[in-house]
Amino acid sequence: MKELTVFNGLLIGWFVLAAAVFVALFFVVAPYGRHSRRGWGYSIGNRAGWVLMEAPAPIAFGVCFLLGSNPTTTATITLLFLWEAHYLHRAFIYPLGLHVTARRMPLMVMAFGMIFNIMNGYLNGRYIFTFAGGYSSDWLSDPRFIIGAVLFITGFAINRQADLALRELRRPGESGYKISQSRFYRWVSCPNYLGEITIWIGWAIATWSLPGLAFAFWTVANLLPRARAHHAWYRQHFPDYPPERKALVPGVW
């Protein structure tokens, strides 16, 4: 069986699985972070879990670049840079900068995260560097790339600002949750999720590809239900939580 046939089958299955996960997550909240709870088996330290979970994404994408058969152009190098920059930050800089070290991540969650990142790294990397018709250097001036890249960078900035706002709330050694009143938290409970969704919608547009669209779909499927759960958690645990603050989209939801 040709790899392209397997690739297309995996891609279709990936869309279907994302839809199923989207529905399931409205009923079962993934047990990590503030939603951690017993009954999910063995666990690993939060920092180590994040690194092990996220590191496969830049590795898989990088391997696809090295093994790719499409010509290397300014456009493919730019896409490689965007992906690797995001994931090197997410896999190493973000978790190693966390104040809280005592929290645990279930091994099951970490394993699912690793599979998720390997699959996305493979589907996107293999498409861009091998199966796509090729991204010539002219792609950088295409409106789709420009719009997508702007959204990607904007989402990264929102995500980064949200992380910094949360870190500013806690002193070293503190482990409790507080209400942020700064930056994007003035409008939504989960600006970090809003930023992440914006990143991968931007990626889908910048690559104009089904694997990119699948990643954006997965991001929404995973983070929209979790943002809903976060928002409800804040309202339950903080009676003075700002009533005008939305869960994910400012002024809308």
Q: Where are the domains of the chain?
A: 9-237
> E strands within the chain?
43-45, 104-106
Q: Where are the alpha helices (H) located in 46-99, listed in sequence order?
A: 46-54, 56-67, 74-88, 94-96
Whole-model pTM: value is 0.94
| pLDDT of 209 | 98
| pLDDT of 111 | 95
The ranges of the chain with pLDDT < 70 are 32-37, 39, 98-102, 171-176
- Name the 3-class secondary structure at 128: helix
Contacts of residue 31, Cβ cutoff 8 Å, sequence gap at least 6: 37, 39, 40, 106, 109
| pLDDT of 178 | 78
| pLDDT of 16 | 99
| pLDDT of 134 | 83
Q: Which of 103, 218, 114, 201 is nearest to 152 (CA)?
A: 201
Q: Average pLDDT over the chain, rounded to whole?
A: 92
Contacts of residue 48, Cβ cutoff 8 Å, sequence gap at least 6: none
The CA distance from 223 to 125, in Å, is 23
| pLDDT of 135 | 96
The CA distance from 186 to 199, in Å, is 21
Token pair 């409106």 is at which residue? 143
